[in-house]
Amino acid sequence: MRSSGVRTARVGFASVFFLCLSIPGSSQTFDGSITINGASVIRPSIPSALFGANIEWVHSSWGAWNPSTNSLSPSALTLVQRLSPPVLRFPGGIFSDFYNWRNGVGPLSSRPVSLITTGPDSSRNTFGTDEAIRLANSLGSRLMITVNVGTSTPEEAAAWVRYVNARGAVVRDWELGNELYIRTLSADASRITISPEVYAQKVIAFARAMRAADSRIRIGAIGGDETGVLPLVQYPGWNQIVLQQAGSSIDFLSVHNAYAPVMFYDNGESLETVYRAMLAYSGDVKSSLSRIVSQVNQFAPADARSRIQIVVSEWGPLFHTSPLSRFVDHAKTQTSALLTASLLMTFLEEPRVEAAQYFKLFDNSFAGLLGLRNGLWQETAPFYALQLFRRNFGSRLIASTVQNPVYRSESAGIITARDGNSLLQSVASLNSNGTILYIITANKSLSSAANVAFQINNLKPSSTATLRALRATAIDANTGTQHPFQGSIPWAAQATASTNSRFLQGAPGEVAIVTSSVTVINNSFRLTIPAASLVALEIPLTR
């Protein structure tokens, strides 16, 4: 494996500091510029809830929760504390609409084994409401609970609200159902799907019953973008009908429009083609969010338009769900970490997006911020990307303008061919008292380093800054988390990069955050950012 490190240099106008972490063979370069305007505030308060994650009840949250000790596995706890997700969405995605919350409370010995969805998989609910509250409290996180609208009743939802309050927990955000707008993707979805008219009436009934139990809670309805490249919403006019009929009953609209590249349609594309298409997807998500915001403003009742926010309650890199796919295990690579960063930047720049929960926190298979390696929980590459934003970013978003070459991406999976994709994406922020500037920049080129000229306006950088680089040994490098199916069911040979592939050499250290200090002497400097990497700058400011 290549040695890692950062060569630092005194930085002034037209001078450069270099990251000695470039992927082997990526000797090409391109020029770009990023201008930061400290006087232009885009979001005066960045919601910490943008950096949340999903947790699921099944199989003791996929083995992360130890029922014997009533706590997280020690290896998981150490990593989750480092990430400290501010919001945890519970008890699932689709599992939520089959979930009986009463099966997950009381003594463990008396909790039944129950079907997870329609069968045949079943689980004892050893990670129920009490355990989710315990985990959230230990991390200083908030719970967002997804209520079973598919197979339960308003009365049961209201009883859940009362139970949570009786436990002394503070759960303000309650989401009504999960993807009930899907009709055909699975037998489970087909069983519980309902029309937007029926769903709107359920929203009104559930909201009325739940607010009678606690008037302080916030209610979210589910929605989506029918015209985007990820057409999960399979009923025409879903958003319009739900907003018009039930908009006065809700506080947020929960959407799942940020999964990519979803390779359910595999036409034999190269890994590089798929990765380039995936990295272009943030442009589609930006357009999708804009359409959804417009629908809220157009269709919600006047008393609700300014109140209803957007929550992206599931999002992240997703290639496939079947072990027979040659891409299924690629959600954990360095390029998937770049997608994670790119989508976070997109959420940050849409003021109506108030929260987002990565799907998902724990997974002992192909997805998740944390996976298993030799029986211990291990970070995946997207974990590092989320960590950079969670720990090395400010609370006020300020304007940043990027100029750079663009590229054309070919179609792959759900993603259509797209022109004008930026090779650089960047966001900037200030801390609460304006003493630190944070800049996070992604180089989406898979083969070329970026020579970036930074210009900082209306701020005064001090002499020393901290640089954190998420680097890897290859575009398909990963930390080596293992799937649980080895030797029991077929697992497809995974796609690999055409040159310098490290996918099969996955191990801790193949992907890492490397930290260094650099010297900045004025408002203009240059930085060389290696191909397929993410860089975070923390620059103290003087008055």
In the chain, the percentage of residues whose pLDDT exceeds 90 is: 87
* H-assigned helices in 280-315: 281-299
Does pLDDT of 4 surpass 50? no
pLDDT of residue 31: 98
Does pLDDT of 8 surpass 70? no
pLDDT of residue 10: 34
pLDDT of residue 154: 98
Q: Which residues of 310-340 are buried (b: 16+ CB within 10 A; e: fewer)?
A: bbbbbbbbbbbeebebbbbbbbbbbbbbbbb
Q: What is the DSSP string of 125-143?
A: --S-HHHHHHHHHHHT-EE
Strands 464-472, 533-540: parallel, antiparallel or unpaired by DSSP?
A: antiparallel
Question: Which residue type does 141 have?
Answer: S
Query: Is residue 262 very low, low, confident or very high in pLDDT (cuts 50, 70, 90)?
Result: very high
For the beta carbon of residue 348, count every other beta carbon within 10 angstroms. Answer: 21
Rounded distance, CA 391 to CA 491, Å?
A: 36
Rounded alpha-carbon distances, angstroms, from residue 281 to 42, 220, 257, 286 = 22, 26, 11, 9
As given in the structure block, the two tokens for residue 27 are 């000797």
CB 382 within 8 A of CB 332: yes
pTM of the model: 0.94
Query: Is residue 487 very low, low, confident or very high in pLDDT (cuts 50, 70, 90)?
Result: low
Query: C-alpha angle with apex 439: 361 to 262, nearest 5 degrees?
Result: 40
pLDDT of residue 522: 84
Rounded distance, CA 491 to CA 328, Å?
A: 9
> Average pLDDT, stretch 307-319?
98
> 3-state DSSP call for residue 331?
helix
Question: Could you report the per-residue pLDDT of 62-116, keeping only the tens digit for each?
Answer: 999 999 999 999 999 999 999 999 999 999 999 999 999 999 999 999 999 999 9
Query: Is residue 24 very low, low, confident or very high in pLDDT (cuts 50, 70, 90)?
Result: low
Does pLDDT of 521 surpass 90? no
Query: Is residue 506 very low, low, confident or very high in pLDDT (cuts 50, 70, 90)?
Result: very high
* H-assigned helices in 96-195: 129-139, 154-166, 187-192
Does pLDDT of 15 surpass 60? no
CB 369 within 8 A of CB 390: no
Does pLDDT of 23 surpass 70? no
pLDDT of residue 229: 82
Question: Could you report the per-residue pLDDT of 241-258, keeping only the tens digit for each?
Answer: 999 999 999 999 999 999
CB 174 within 8 A of CB 155: no
CB 90 within 8 A of CB 67: no
Query: Is residue 420 very low, low, confident or very high in pLDDT (cuts 50, 70, 90)?
Result: very high
Question: Could you report the per-residue pLDDT of 154-206, keeping only the tens digit for each?
Answer: 999 999 999 999 999 989 999 999 999 999 888 888 899 999 999 999 999 99
Question: Which residue type does 237 have?
Answer: G
As given in the structure block, the two tokens for residue 540 are 């103290």
Query: Is residue 543 very low, low, confident or very high in pLDDT (cuts 50, 70, 90)?
Result: confident
Q: What is the DSSP letter of 68?
A: T
Query: Is residue 26 very low, low, confident or very high in pLDDT (cuts 50, 70, 90)?
Result: low
